[in-house]
Chain A
Amino acid sequence: MTIHPVILWTDALIFALLAAVLVLVWLIRRQEHLRAPWRVVAQRPMAMGAALVLGVFVSIGLLDSLHYRAQLPDSPADAPQYSVEVLSVFDALVDGLRARQEKTYSAPLAMQLYAKEFVQRDGVTVRDSSRLQHGGAHLAQADARLPDITRRALAGAAQGALASLLVFAGLAVWQARRMQTSPGAWLAAWRGGRLDWPARTVVLMVATMLMLGGVMMQLAAGYHVFGTDKVGQDVLYISLKSIRTGLVIGTLTTLVTLPLAIGFGIAAGYFRGWVDDVIQYVYTVLNSIPGVLLIAAAVLIVQVYIESNPDIFDTAAARADIRLLALCLIMGVTSWTGLARLLRGESLKLRTLDYVEAARAFGVSNARIISRHIFPNVFHLVLIAIVLDFSGLVLAEAVLSYIGVGVDPAMYSWGNMINGARLELAREPVVWWQLGAAFAFMFTLVLAANLFADGVRDAFDPRLGGRR
């Protein structure tokens, strides 16, 4: 089966961002003063644990950004026709989750639908909840469910433990060879916490994640782990698909924010005078308009544009994607002011320092002073702002989608999940798993991002430099 790769706008930007980050990493590795604080980050157990969790989220997001359209099975080979449904590599990996659709709501790990309905049983119409098509379909009896779940969970945990043991053994051998000791000696050092990186936390974290993953995989093969939603889709699948949306919002928005904040902030602080006045008026005005108003207006404009130009967007995914991009843009435009204000203050301070005066005494041009003296010395602030803002943006998306001005309703996102769960919370018995799953995923991502940001800030903030 051939495929037709699809590159959505956000995909292109995400991979451009990834490339930029890789280039940055390469540059940082070469500069001692940039590498040193990162080494401090790498020595903090909390930051490293959080980084691992973030790593898993980012991998899922990246896999989910490689889009394609599959060839229709009955299309001719010489003029292939492709499905209108845009899939991603991640979809292919978890094909089972995507395909196993039920009729409507079902509770986590259930084998029946949540709602009761009239069913024909042995010629009699009774009111009962019918069996799911996929969830627990392999079981003959209802009372076999609990033992089956326990067995699967244990098997998954065992598989995870085995995998983590293998990984750990590999790590021990590799590290021992690198440090030119025996694996036994390395293990002793590991147990005593005498290594120069938080190896115990990392190993423990990897083991926990592998075991959790093992349990999930085992259970998901036979059940809907987080239940199903209104149209019977697996909530676990939706939650995982939402990761990409969250990451896109968190990262691409910063991409819009940074040039504005850095450019305006440094220009205002460095040049002062009328430049400072103009920039300050602009961001004071921008700050006094409610952000939600601007965002709603922008999203509606894009919506109208999409609807009046249907021929530009060949798939529903492309339409949702352009709306997501618009959301990132407008959120970026409304959120650069804080960082710009910070950078303005810092530049005001830096421009009076002796090394800037010395450069001016040589007649060095303003552009060069900014790029060589000011920017490198505010870069740590930019970095801290990026990681701190990330979690705020992920949460903002949820709020915006909830009030209906966020991403496209057809798009998988935690905000849409919460929005969808809103009405069902009022129903009896309550449908809680959609909200719960969105909450759990968002909580994990934001907590990891915040812990990581804490580590980054502690390492980069010169005011905290002395005490650790």
Chain B
Amino acid sequence: MKPLLEVRDLVTDIGPARVVDGVSFHVAAGETYALLGESGCGKSMTALSLMRLLPDGGRVSSGAVELGGENVLGLPERDMRRVRGGQMAMIFQEPMLALNPVIKVGEQIGEALALHQNLGGQAAREAARGLLDAVGVPDAVRRLDTYPFELSGGLRQRVMIAMALAGQPRLLIADEPTTALDVTIQAQVLDVLRRLKTERQMGMLLITHDLGVVAENADRVGVMYAGELVEEGGRDTFFASPQHPYSRMLFDALPRPGDGGRLTTIPGQVPPLDGSLVGCRFARRCPFAIARCRDESPDWQTINDQRVRCHLAGTLPARIEREVTAQTTARAAKALLQVEGLKVHFPIRRGLIQRTVGHVRAVDDVALSIQAGRTLALVGESGCGKTTVGKALLRLVEPTAGSIVLGGETITAKNASTLRRQAQMVFQDPFSSLNPRMRVADILLEGMDALGVGAAGERRDAVAQLLNRVGLPDDAGGRYPHAFSGGQRQRIAIARALAVSPRLVICDEPTSALDVSVQAQILNLLKDLQDSLGLAYLFITHNLSVVDYLAHDVAVMYLGRIVEHGAAVAVLRAPRHPYTLALVSAVPRIEAQTGPGIIRLAGDQPSPLNPPDGCHFNPRCPYASEVCRQTYPGQTDLGNGHWVRCHWVAGQV
């Protein structure tokens, strides 16, 4: 049978850079083909080439793209408009940017319907409602008359999918469709995509960097590296035995549950695509590379039903499952940080005289304690207030109430400088956390100068030591941040926090903006620093596999309150709170799912401005009873410092 989409030797140039170089693959109807790879490997450019929506200066230089037997690249622009949306449709990563904020959702879907199905008026409205139903938007009739900003991220992404479906496309291109969403919402959206694909027998091209998403959704997988496809195969064989060294290292770089050992990292970074590349593009980062790899570009080799571009295909040693090193056991120690009853309420002011009409309870009565040399992970979906906790601890946001005791000293506004010497922060996005106009050395010196750490003469030496400690070259100090890659920038940010020798470092999603291989480097570094310097970490994240790897204790936060707290092993292996259960099961995993079935949460996290009565989680909770709707549950102790706030669990104990 002829495949739905056939891409042969696609070559795309943007200016001098060859971003896609000789990519061939095919997608059958009703099949999901996943393109996998790190950022900068040409995945999105492949998709944009198919749609012929390349950015300025980009053009498809050679190759063929056939959709249902029709050569897409040869069509005039007039006919191409019919193909886009009608034959193949695309959904983008950021739904807020892809929807027009000033046009109602119904009209935006109607626009696509009018274009591709010639529907108007009531018929279009009916069809739009049908589409919203199909993508699982609850209360579809009312949603037609809302603006995009009134919808949550998950609903927006569904509206995007509904729009893409309006032209009844045969091929759906999903470019990182869930990267911007929380895990529970991601699970909902992926469910919708899977169901639609089967119902409508669409072909789907799924572009992602997340192996877990691929494992759960793809039928076949293609791995891209530096503009080339380097490996292709069916999902099961690919996950059972990846053949290309790059694919293998991607697997090894992922933190595994229960593993406390070092992660495999891929040294170096994706080569720039504008130079002339000789030999295998991965050779410089490949631990198996031989002389031939550097001179000769490998050709496709077939192993069973897998294809791989590697000279050593089939001869590589069998993959060694990494030893699972158990977490170091708990050390009883005095708490370094003790937080009681922390509250951060933001007033909402309205009217002419800015009267306070209410409060956003971003953080509501949070208690934490971290011992020296240990890691506490604070886990939750976006908007639950976990970042605000971190900022309130450093008094970057003034807490409304609560006491913070750090190293035995109660922190008030007066002795804030004590706090600043002992606790520092590493931010999420290394591109916005370093001032682009300052040299690295000046960035590192800033904290020491401000807090008067060490003698002025010794600070320059301290900078060299810091750079050394985070694994950056000595001459890095004289350069500007833009000269560094994302991973190196995050190292600089870590060095900046370490400059004042703190005992506690608050890490706010330090790896979520980074690629998997770089994430492994940063996680290793954080672990090494903890071992050598005895640092305590408050690790704020939504990525549960990272928590599994790094944390000793976990606190799960929902809508400004901690709902479950305990040792990492206990909370992640045997979660008790229904929310934690859902969170853990929503994470896409590479391994086959075991244990209880996947719990899918309905709906979204409510607004902290107006939290539901009783237990905040009750509207989404499958076990909610009458008492949950009335009173907020107290703490139920489960032993070993593991406790939850849940009526349901309390009833079981």
Contacts and interface: CB of A to CB of B under 8 A. Distances in A.
Contacts of B428: 354
Given A33-B480, A354-B428, A467-B56, A361 B396 contact: yes
Contacts of B435: 355, 372-373, 376-377
Interface stretch (A38-46, A92-100, A150-158, A362-370): A362-370
A39 to B, nearest CB: 15
A362 B436 contact: no
Interface residues of A, number: 20
A357 B500 CA distance: 16
A359 interface: yes
Contacts of A364: 446-447, 450
A361 B393 CA distance: 10
Given A358-B425, A467-B56, A363 B450 contact: yes
A354 B433 contact: yes
Interface in B397-442: 416-417, 420, 424-425, 427-429, 432-438
B435 to A, nearest CB: 5
Contact of B396 (A357, A376, A467): A357
A402 B424 CA distance: 62
B451 interface: yes
A146 interface: no
B345 interface: no
A358 B391 CA distance: 10
Interface string B456-498: 0000000000000000000000001010000000000100110
A354 B396 CA distance: 11
B432 A358 contact: no
Nearest to A364: B450
A127 interface: no
Interface of A is mostly: helix
A355 B450 contact: no
Interface in A342-357: 353-355, 357
Interface range for B: 20 to 34
B337 interface: no
B434 A363 contact: no
A116 interface: no
Given A372-B435, A377-B436, A467 B450 contact: no
B438 A372 contact: yes
B394 interface: yes
A32 interface: yes
Contact of B432 (A354, A360, A368, A372): A354
Given A32-B480, A355-B435, A358-B427, A363 B396 contact: no
B76 interface: no
A1 B425 CA distance: 73
Given A358-B427, A359-B446, A361-B420, A353 B451 contact: no
A196 to B, nearest CB: 16
Interface string A32-70: 110000000000000000000000000000000000000
Nearest to A356: B435
Given A33-B480, A354-B432, A467-B57, A368 B427 contact: no
Interface string B569-590: 0000000000000000000000
B501 to A, nearest CB: 13
Interface string B274-303: 000000000000000000000000000000
B387 to A, nearest CB: 11
A29 to B, nearest CB: 16
A362 B500 CA distance: 9
A33 B437 contact: yes
Contacts of A373: 435, 438
Given A363-B417, A363-B451, A376-B437, A353 B432 contact: yes
Given A33-B480, A33-B482, 20 more contacts: A33-B437, A354-B428, A354-B432, A354-B433, A355-B432, A355-B433, A358-B496, A359-B450, A361-B396, A361-B420, A361-B424, A362-B450, A363-B420, A363-B451, A372-B435, A372-B438, A373-B438, A376-B435, A376-B438, A377-B435
Interface of A: 32-33, 353-355, 357-365, 368, 372-373, 376-377, 467
24 contacts: A33-B437, A353-B433, A354-B427, A354-B428, A354-B429, A355-B434, A357-B396, A357-B427, A358-B425, A362-B424, A362-B446, A362-B451, A362-B500, A363-B416, A363-B420, A363-B450, A364-B447, A372-B435, A373-B435, A373-B438, A376-B435, A377-B435, A377-B437, A467-B57
Closest 3 CB pairs of A and B: A354-B433, A376-B437, A354-B427
Interface of B: 56-57, 391, 394, 396, 416-417, 420, 424-425, 427-429, 432-438, 446-447, 450-451, 480, 482, 493, 496-497, 500
